[in-house]
């Protein structure tokens, strides 16, 4: 009897507790969304645009920290002025002619320490400031592939070097003064080109094409006045067990010293017109196996192509297989018949300082930065039109052989191109 009597209130209390708890949970869940909408605001909206200034002026009270004073800009923003590209297209090329103007080489000499005082060019504009954007964005080049690139199935390609100038500037070669040529046909012959030229305004950044150590930074590189201020880098990678060097000439200022360790794309100098030039540009060379003037190779076969672009290289010979020099080669787009490039084959002077063919490609002409597509490569040999069809693939060298025999048999459809 006692057990039943005492269990009734306990049961009622438990029921009440559970019921209240459930009600509290339910109410809490139901009321939560509405709470945010009933927070009273004491801020009265005002249309007075000066209200915040008045608050700042009058302050928040005697104990408040004084607000810092900020000078507001008084002038409207003006975008940076871009230099029209045409103003920079100064014809580049040495004013001199003949072999007597070729760089004087002293085979016994080795690079010596550059005087630190030559860090800034003495014969150029006194103050050279670095420029980052010098061409309208519409004229910027595509981004280059990331070196090293070697996609040739037979391993012949060695696009291991970056471009020495940014894509916002002119970082491609002057096409009518390619490696191994003596300049435009109508001009008095220039010095046989041992590099490629990229004209740009003075002050444009020049960057290391690869990692390595600076062997020279200043004028009189290998007793060559015509190069002006030079940065010469030996890279920390080699080609078939041989050293690779890059050279950057005519700089208005050099930003490194001899012995500096540089990485790829490091700023090493500024575009200038020191030495023997007719306009500001960087003369870019690749030397392999040796550091001399006669150790250069075509930079177009070492510098990474742009995204979506490749290189056409080839060997043009007569019917007996003898390489033809200074031979004009035209590259025509098969889709629309338009000529996209004209170049010339290497000229040899039969001395120790001649330009070189790649040890694997054995080319005597090469032209880079050709958009991916199908092209006809054309020349005229002994009055006979010789042409080959070639496909350009991204990041790859497409090789063609141009001989009179091939023209007569292999490519009859070429004559149907508009």
Give me the residues that bind Zn ion (CB under 5 A), please: 195, 197, 283
Residue sitting closest to Zn ion (CB) = 283
Pick the closer one to Zn ion by CB: 197 or 291: 197
**Shortest distance (Å) from residue 270 CB to Zn ion:** 17
Burial degree of 223 (CB within 10 A; 0-12, 13-18, 19+)? exposed
Q: Is the peptide bond before 326 cis (omega within 30 degrees of 0)?
A: no
**Shortest distance (Å) from residue 92 CB to Zn ion:** 7
**Shortest distance (Å) from residue 370 CB to Zn ion:** 21
Sequence-distant (6+) residues with CB within 8 A of 102 are: 191, 192, 293, 353
Sequence-distant (6+) residues with CB within 8 A of 155 are: none
Whole-number Å distance between alpha carbons of 130 and 121: 14
Are 105 and 353 in contact by the 8 Å Cβ rule? The answer is yes
Pick the closer one to Zn ion by CB: 209 or 386: 209
Sequence-distant (6+) residues with CB within 8 A of 40 are: none
**Shortest distance (Å) from residue 245 CB to Zn ion:** 16
**Shortest distance (Å) from residue 283 CB to Zn ion:** 3
Are 397 and 310 in contact by the 8 Å Cβ rule? The answer is yes
Angle, CA 264 vertex, CA 397 and CA 298 arms, to 5°: 35
Pick the closer one to Zn ion by CB: 276 or 283: 283
DSSP string, 213-236: EEEEEES-BTTBGGG-EEEEEEEE
Report which secondary-structure segment, H or E, holds 56. helix 51-58
Pick the closer one to Zn ion by CB: 195 or 305: 195
SS3 398: strand
**Shortest distance (Å) from residue 369 CB to Zn ion:** 17
Pick the closer one to Zn ion by CB: 170 or 283: 283
**Shortest distance (Å) from residue 197 CB to Zn ion:** 4
**Shortest distance (Å) from residue 142 CB to Zn ion:** 23
- Pair of tokens at residue 65: 């920290």
**Shortest distance (Å) from residue 93 CB to Zn ion:** 8
Pick the closer one to Zn ion by CB: 93 or 147: 93
Pick the closer one to Zn ion by CB: 197 or 363: 197
Secondary structure, 3-state, 5-19: HHHHHHHHHHHHHHH
Pick the closer one to Zn ion by CB: 163 or 283: 283
Pick the closer one to Zn ion by CB: 283 or 388: 283
Say how many CA atoms lie within 13 Å of 86 toward its Cβ.
Answer: 0
Whole-number Å distance between alpha carbons of 333 and 337: 5
CA distances for 130 relative to 113, 116, 144, angstroms: 25, 20, 22
């Amino acid at each position: 009897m006692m057990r039943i009597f005492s269990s009734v209130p306990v049961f009622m209390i438990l029921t009440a507790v559970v019921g209240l708890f459930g009600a509290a949970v339910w109410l809490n869940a139901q009321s939560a969304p509405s709470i945010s909408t009933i927070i009273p605001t004491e801020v009265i909206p005002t249309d007075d645009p000066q209200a915040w200034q008045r608050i700042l002026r009058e302050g928040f009270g005697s104990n408040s920290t004084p607000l810092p004073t900020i000078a507001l800009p008084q002038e409207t923003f003006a975008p940076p002025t871009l230099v029209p590209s045409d103003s920079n297209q100064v014809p580049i090329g040495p004013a001199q002619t003949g072999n007597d103007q070729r760089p004087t080489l002293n085979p016994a000499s080795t690079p010596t320490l550059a005087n630190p005082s030559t860090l800034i060019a003495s014969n150029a504009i006194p103050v050279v400031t670095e420029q980052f954007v010098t061409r309208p964005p519409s004229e910027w080049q595509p981004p280059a592939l990331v070196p090293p690139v070697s996609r040739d199935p037979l391993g012949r390609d060695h696009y291991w070097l970056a471009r020495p100038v940014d894509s916002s500037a002119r970082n491609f070669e002057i096409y009518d003064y390619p490696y191994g040529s003596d300049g435009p046909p109508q001009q008095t012959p220039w010095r046989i080109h041992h590099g490629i030229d990229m004209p740009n305004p003075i002050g444009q950044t020049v960057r290391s094409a690869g990692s390595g150590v600076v062997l020279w930074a200043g004028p009189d590189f290998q007793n060559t006045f015509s190069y002006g201020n030079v940065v010469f880098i030996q890279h920390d990678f080699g080609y078939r067990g041989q050293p690779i060097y890059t050279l950057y000439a005519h700089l208005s200022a050099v930003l490194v010293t001899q012995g500096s360790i540089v990485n790829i794309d490091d700023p090493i100098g500024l575009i200038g017109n020191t030495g023997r030039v007719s306009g500001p540009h960087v003369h870019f060379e690749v030397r392999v196996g040796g550091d001399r003037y006669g150790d250069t190779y075509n930079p177009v076969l070492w510098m990474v192509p742009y995204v979506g672009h490749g290189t056409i290289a080839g060997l043009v010979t007569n019917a007996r297989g003898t390489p033809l020099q200074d031979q004009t080669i035209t590259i025509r787009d098969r889709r629309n018949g338009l000529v996209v490039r004209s170049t010339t084959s290497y000229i040899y002077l039969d001395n120790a300082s001649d330009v070189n063919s790649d040890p694997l490609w054995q080319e005597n002409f090469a032209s880079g930065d050709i958009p991916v597509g199908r092209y006809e490569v054309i020349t005229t040999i002994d009055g006979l039109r010789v042409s080959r069809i070639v496909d350009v693939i991204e990041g790859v060298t497409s090789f063609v052989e141009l001989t009179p025999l091939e023209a007569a048999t292999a490519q009859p459809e070429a004559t149907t191109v508009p």
